[in-house]
Amino acid sequence: MLVALLTASALLNQPAGTDLSYTEFLERVRAGEVDNITVDNTNARISGEFEGDGDTAGGTFQTTGPAEISEGDLQTIRENGVAVDFDTPTPNWFLSLLPLFLPFMIVIGFFWWMARRQQSQMGGIMSIGRSKAKTYTTERPGTTFDDVAGYAAVKKEVTEVVDFLSDTTKFAEIGARIPKGVLLVGPPGTGKTLIARAVAGEAGVPFLSVTGSDFMEMFVGVGASRVRDLFQEARKMGKAIIFIDEIDSIGRKRGAGMGGGHDEREQTLNQMLAEMDGFEATEGIVMMAATNRPDILDPALLRPGRFDRQVVVPLPELDDRRKILGVHMKHKKIHDDVDVEVIARGTPGMSGADLSNLVNEAALYAVRAGGKQISALHFDQARDRVIMGVKRDSLVMSGPEREMTAYHEGGHALCAALLPGYDPLHKVTIIPTGMALGVTMTLPEEDRHSMRKTQAENMIIMALGGRNAEQLVFDVVSSGAANDLQQATNIARRMVTEWGMSDQIGPMSLSGGGPVFLGDDMMGTKEFSEDTARLVDEEVHAILTAMEDRCRRLLTENRHALDLIARNLLEKETVTGEEVNRLIATATAPAPPTAPSVEPAQ
């Protein structure tokens, strides 16, 4: 506004008309074309009007003369009949008062800005107890069950929540009560948040999303205040879904750990328990939460009337992985040689997030190779990187170390190929990958949900294959089998303490009551005696020793095949499972019969 007023004042003071030089002005006067002039005494500005019958008749002009017009020029002006008027204009009042008011305006503006700043800071402090939940209404494009690939059983479980929020009358007529809280339990990356958002999209109700860490603050009582505000906001919406992600951050067991629990976290949990008890069945508010650590949640949070239904979101099965891969491949250029079934079979134990990362890694490999489509080779490279790690091409092994690594991986590959019922061998390589100098990779034909004793024993034999191959060929023991020994020992210990696969221990579990959390059970005593612990160690040692003997016999009987596999690894660095099976068949094939020699007659 200030700039506009100054500009307007300057424009108003500028005269309009033709600009003339003082010389042109005198020539027009002598020619009789000027009717009258007005001389400004403050700036010697001369303005006037033309006369006559020419093009400029009746027009105006302005020019700038000397500070004081000479007598000769005045005489010329008067002789030509020009009326002369001298004027002293008064100054603009706004421009005169502006220097006086400008400092006051600056000071007033500064205090106004300070007041607004303090008001915003006070507003932030006063609103610290407000909920930080993000609200997704039906006006926004929502996620539905069609966007969630696989998980048919999980969708069936949560469909009741959708039916209740869509039509509450049929539940009220029969007297049925919908669960007030649904807890989604599963490993990270399985899509728990996506499923909860799909429930809101299917039901067409507002969806309030908040994480457990949003309730915690350095001020005491803030968490409980935010819980109250969250539930008040949900009640105003009528029907709504409150989704709390990572609820284990505020729903941990109260009083767990040494020295008691965190008071602020416990008060937040107490407030949440009280708010959930205040729900009525007709309110139309459903609590949903997600966690991957259900074992540490407070029991009061899981009782009927609160989170009274737990929906397990497991790692995807073979059919689910196939559908999830199809979703992530939908908008990518895929080559015709890519078989989704093969990729799904080769990715057991991967979550939806892992599969998404696998497809993206394959696309990155295709870009690096300069390809226009993602081929099966790119998916194979991406799977190796995700499962085994990045190849370390810069690591150079010496000749003896490279030969020992070839026999080490050859021992693993030979055991995997010859053990009955073991997962099919995919490939074996001596290229340093990740933290390993070589890798032997197997791919299961189907998902495994339980393990038999023979399968566990075969896993131990396969893990000990590299160490025994080194001993058999070089008669040395190296540190390359450290990870193999750790895996074998873990399997043997679980066979004894968890799975009841030891004749001496019998059907007894010695694994303990669960994971240690915040000091819980840290000071507890063992539930078995020292004699039992000694017996466990003896049984673990006996299992490992017996499996090592079986592994050594297997390698000794197939020494020729082991040499062929190691020789091919030294030449090619990477050998597929089909080539390993062919080499084993070649080594075990009977030698062709030789023709009997006939001695010449004497």
- pLDDT score at 517: 43
Rounded Cα gap, residues 144 and 517, in angstroms: 37
255-314: pLDDT as tens digits: 655 444 456 677 777 777 777 776 554 466 778 888 888 878 888 888 877 777 788 888
Partners of 245 in beta bridges = 211, 290
**Edge-to-edge strand order for the sheet containing 309-312?**
134-136, 207-211, 240-245, 285-291, 181-185, 309-312
Length of the chain, in residues = 602
32-72: pLDDT as tens digits: 778 888 887 777 788 888 876 555 556 787 888 787 777 78
Partners of 457 in beta bridges = none
Topology of domain 399-512+527-588, CATH: Methane Monooxygenase Hydroxylase; Chain G, domain 1 (1.20.58)
Partners of 391 in beta bridges = 433
Q: What average pLDDT does the structure give for the chain?
A: 76
Cβ-proximal residues to 177 (8 Å cutoff; 6+ apart), any chain: 171, 281
- pLDDT score at 70: 78
What the block records as the tokens of 63 is 């020019």
303-340: pLDDT as tens digits: 877 777 788 888 888 888 888 888 888 888 888 888 88
- The answer to whether residue 142 scores a pLDDT higher than 60 is yes
Average pLDDT over every residue of 435-442: 77
Average pLDDT over every residue of 345-366: 85
Residue ranges of the chain assigned to CATH 1.10.8.60? 318-388
Residue ranges of the chain assigned to CATH 3.30.720.210? 2-87
**Does 409 participate in catalysis according to the annotation?**
yes
Cβ-proximal residues to 383 (8 Å cutoff; 6+ apart), any chain: 343, 346, 347, 358
Residue ranges of the chain assigned to CATH 3.40.50.300? 134-312
Rg over alpha carbons for the chain, rounded to the nearest Å, is 44
% of the chain beyond a pLDDT of 70:
78
- pLDDT score at 279: 54
Residue ranges of the chain assigned to CATH 1.20.58.760? 399-512+527-588
Please pick, among 246, 266, 361, 409, the residue that the annotation labels catalytic. Answer: 409
Q: Note the CATH number of domain 318-388.
A: 1.10.8.60
Residue pair 211/245 in contact (Cβ under 8 Å)? The answer is yes
418-432: pLDDT as tens digits: 888 888 888 888 877
On whether the pTM is more than 0.85, the answer is no
Query: Was domain 2-87 assigned CATH 3.30.720.210?
Result: yes
- DSSP string covering 472-509, please? HHHS---GGGHHHHHHHHHHHHHHHHTS---TTT-S--
Average pLDDT over every residue of 215-237: 67
| Of 423, 417, 378, the residue nearest 562 (C-alpha) | 417
- pLDDT score at 540: 92
166-176: pLDDT as tens digits: 777 777 777 77
- The answer to whether residue 483 scores a pLDDT higher than 60 is yes
Assign residue 434 a region (left: φ > 0; alpha: ψ between -120 and 50; beta: otherwise). left
User: What is the CATH architecture assignment of 134-312?
Assistant: 3-Layer(aba) Sandwich (3.40)
- The answer to whether residue 147 scores a pLDDT higher than 50 is yes
Average pLDDT over every residue of 503-517: 68
- The answer to whether residue 127 scores a pLDDT higher than 50 is no
